[in-house]
Amino acid sequence: MITRQNSLGVTALFATVCVLLLVTTITFFTARTIVNDQRIYKNVYDTVLAKNAVQAGQDYGLGYLNDNPNTVTDNQTINGTLSNGATYTILYTFLNGNQRIQIRSTGVSPSGVSTRILTVETQRQLIVDTPSIPLASKSTLSMSNDTRITNTENNFTVQLGGVISFNNDAATYLASGKSSYKNHIVSDVTQNDNALASQTAEQLQQIYLGRLMTDFQSIANITYTFNSDHNFNSEFSGNNETGQVIYLNMQGHKATLTGATIVATEAAPATVVINGTAEISNDVKFYGNLYVNGTLIIQNGAILNGLIFTTGQVTLKNDAKITGAIVSSSSISMLNDAQLIYNLSTLNAASAGKPIQYGVIAGSWKDF
């Protein structure tokens, strides 16, 4: 016989079992939810780590390309590891030679579970000013003995922080003919330019070269170091310098080029950076840019095609001929039939040593 007391016990037991079942069910689903949330969190976390890795790879890849614009090769890969263990792989693909390069970055989370890929296309471009006139100097210019500066591409020939002096039949020439000469200085010549005079030698190097001359050593294809004066005829006689950036670390001494030496070619001009003084003479033919961290003498029929940049005094004499432009932090002297002819095409062609920057092409960014 079921008593009232037994009935209450059964009810209580049933209620307890129900409560336990409910608690167990809640605990089970809570635990399952926590596990799922942890799995989701880990997946999200891995995805974030992979995304950070792919972005780090892309940033490093663009920076590396801009630090080494002339040495990166088609299909070159670079691998890296972040401090958290995530990794990235960079792949360079040439789309139009080295003028247009795709950077593909693959980022992998530390666990290896998540992978992200990011591609972007970059365009090669110069980041320095090309002179728009034949001659610019922070200091003075002296012209004598039938020397001439010619610019048939615009109406400017000389820009100076100091003054110009004409002697004998020295003159400047425009497309219209003879322009400035002794006792007749007109608008093609700018003197006492305060903005130019106030520029430091370092600032001029940044403007026209994109970096200090001494910094070219780190990007040079060829470097020579000497602790005494040296003639470079033999080093430049085999045309190994064509299309190259060459750094001559003279450590305060003089570099010379003489005879009928030909430096580079018109099709593949070089850039020669001389950390020291320089003298070029006797029918040397030079194709490219010449940067001299010191004084420079060009004489006796030597011909240079490109940009000349110096921190020291420049002397052009005895039928020396420059096709391109000259920029100097110091004074310039021209005498004995020396000529300077502005040529923008020559300046643009002689761009091998100018700093290059790759910029991201708008709309080429793909993240997947």
Give me the pLDDT at residue 287, please. 93
Rounded Cα–Cα distance for residues 221 and 286 (Å): 18
Neighbour-count burial of 278, counting CB atoms closer than 10 A to its CB (0-12 exposed, 13-18 middle, 19+ buried): buried
Ordered by where they begin, the domains of the chain are 1-126 (3.30.1300), 135-349 (no CATH)
Tell me what the mean pLDDT of segment 4-18 comes to: 68
Tell me what the mean pLDDT of segment 315-343 comes to: 97
- Tell me the torsion sign for CA atoms 321, 327, 330, 331: positive
Rounded Cα–Cα distance for residues 10 and 261 (Å): 114
Question: Residue 51 in contact with residue 115, Cβ under 8 Å?
Answer: no
The answer on pLDDT for 353 being more than 60 is no
Structure tokens at 183: 């006792």
Give me the pLDDT at residue 259, please. 86
Question: Residue 201 in contact with residue 311, Cβ under 8 Å?
Answer: yes
Give me the pLDDT at residue 295, please. 97
Structure tokens at 351: 């761009």
278 — phi, psi (to 5°)? Answer: -145, 150
Tell me what the mean pLDDT of segment 162-189 comes to: 97
| DSSP assignments along 191-238, one per residue | -S-HHHHTS-HHHHHHHHHSS-GGGGGGT-SEEEE-SS-EE-TTTTTT
State the pLDDT confidence band at 349, using cuts at 50, 70 and 90. confident
Query: What are residue 90's DSSP bridge partners?
Result: 78, 105
Residue count of the chain, please give it. Answer: 368
The answer on pLDDT for 85 being more than 70 is yes
Tell me what the mean pLDDT of segment 185-206 comes to: 94
What residue type is assigned to position 43 of the chain? N
Rounded Cα–Cα distance for residues 118 and 129 (Å): 33
pLDDT tens per residue across span 51-65:
999 999 999 999 999
| DSSP assignments along 347-361, one per residue | HHHS-TTS-EEEEEP
**pTM score > 0.75 for this model?**
no
Residue 213 CA to chain centroid, in angstroms? 13
Strands 141-143 and 135-137: unpaired
- Tell me the torsion sign for CA atoms 24, 27, 29, 35: negative
Residue 94 Rama label (left phi>0; alpha psi -120 to 50; beta): beta
Give me the pLDDT at residue 194, please. 95
Give me the pLDDT at residue 155, please. 95
181 — phi, psi (to 5°)? Answer: -160, -170
Give me the pLDDT at residue 285, please. 94
pLDDT tens per residue across span 277-294:
999 999 899 999 999 999
The answer on pLDDT for 180 being more than 80 is yes
Structure tokens at 68: 């080494």
pLDDT tens per residue across span 33-54:
665 555 655 667 788 888 999 9
Rounded Cα–Cα distance for residues 308 and 215 (Å): 17
Give me the pLDDT at residue 97, please. 82
Neighbour-count burial of 91, counting CB atoms closer than 10 A to its CB (0-12 exposed, 13-18 middle, 19+ buried): middle
Give me the pLDDT at residue 46, please. 81
Q: Specify the residue for token string 């002296």.
A: 142
State the pLDDT confidence band at 340, using cuts at 50, 70 and 90. very high
What residue type is assigned to position 93 of the chain? T
Give me the pLDDT at residue 96, please. 83
pLDDT tens per residue across span 213-268:
998 888 788 999 999 999 999 888 766 677 888 999 999 899 999 988 999 988 88
Helix (H) or strand (E) holding 88, with range, is strand 87-94
54-58, 69-73, 110-114, 303-307: segment of lowest average pLDDT = 69-73
pLDDT tens per residue across span 18-36:
777 777 777 767 666 665 5
Question: Coil, helix or strand for 46?
Answer: helix
118-142 in b/e form (b: 16+ CB < 10 A) is: bbbbbbbeeebeebebbbbbbbbbb
